[in-house]
Amino acid sequence: MVDQIEDDGSDTGQDGAEGQVRKKRLSGKVLVLFILLPLLIAGGGVGGAYYAGLFDSPEPTEEELAAAAAQQNKKVVFYDLPEMLVNLSTGSSASSFLKIGVSLELADASLVPDLELLIPRVMDNFQVYLRELRKEDLSGSQGVFRLKEELLMRINNAASPVRVNDVLFRELLVQ
């Protein structure tokens, strides 16, 4: 019996040693509550901040935009084309005329000599296009806008190395 008592005491001592050696595992609730939930909250906060635009670069102020526009406008050059008088296309014997004066907006003054070499080609493209127009094509602001866009496209195709930024009407008379 003595052996049994000693064995019992030694077993208890071994259980205590095993308890110290064995690490305590986290339960599922503790894992979710203290690890996963804070990670999800932090991730949601970062995602919300990104969506709200807090990580975007600051937008320039009005003063910076005005200074950039002024700097850009210092370089802009306007080149005046000669006035054109064209006969518009009509289905009847009555004739209609279009008198048009155009200025071209260039990004830099160094482009003017290159453009001057290509003016005959530009004028020819304009004449061919304008002679096919009817009086109804030029009615209203939408017609004038279409004319402006078409002339801009044609001049950029005709003066290929030179880039024209805009076509400005000095005079537009339909009779």
CATH number at residue 114: 3.30.479.30
The pLDDT score that the predictor gives to residue 9 is 47
Confirm whether 130 is domain-assigned: yes
Q: Of the candidates 50, 107, 59, which has an alpha carbon nearest to the alpha carbon of residue 79? A: 107
Domain of 104 in residue numbering reads as 76-174
H-run or E-run covering 158: helix 140-158
Rounded distance between C-alpha atoms, residue 40 and residue 26, angstroms: 19
The pLDDT score that the predictor gives to residue 25 is 72
SS3 106: strand
Residues 6+ apart with CB under 8 A from 77: 105, 106, 107, 108, 109, 111, 112
The CA radius of gyration of the chain, in Å to the nearest whole number, is 41
Rounded distance between C-alpha atoms, residue 44 and residue 154, angstroms: 53
The pLDDT score that the predictor gives to residue 65 is 82
Within 10 angstroms of residue 122's Cβ, the number of other Cβ atoms is 22
Q: Are 101 and 169 in contact (CB under 8 A)?
A: yes
Q: What is the residue-level pLDDT of the chain in tens, covering all 175 positions?
A: 455 544 444 445 455 555 555 666 767 777 777 888 888 999 999 998 888 877 777 777 888 888 887 776 677 899 999 999 998 887 777 888 899 999 999 988 888 999 999 999 999 999 999 999 888 888 889 999 999 999 999 999 988 888 999 999 999 998 8
Confirm whether 37 is domain-assigned: no
In this prediction the pTM is 0.57
Q: Hey, what are 101's tokens?
A: 């004066």
Confirm whether 27 is domain-assigned: no
Confirm whether 92 is domain-assigned: yes
Confirm whether 90 is domain-assigned: yes
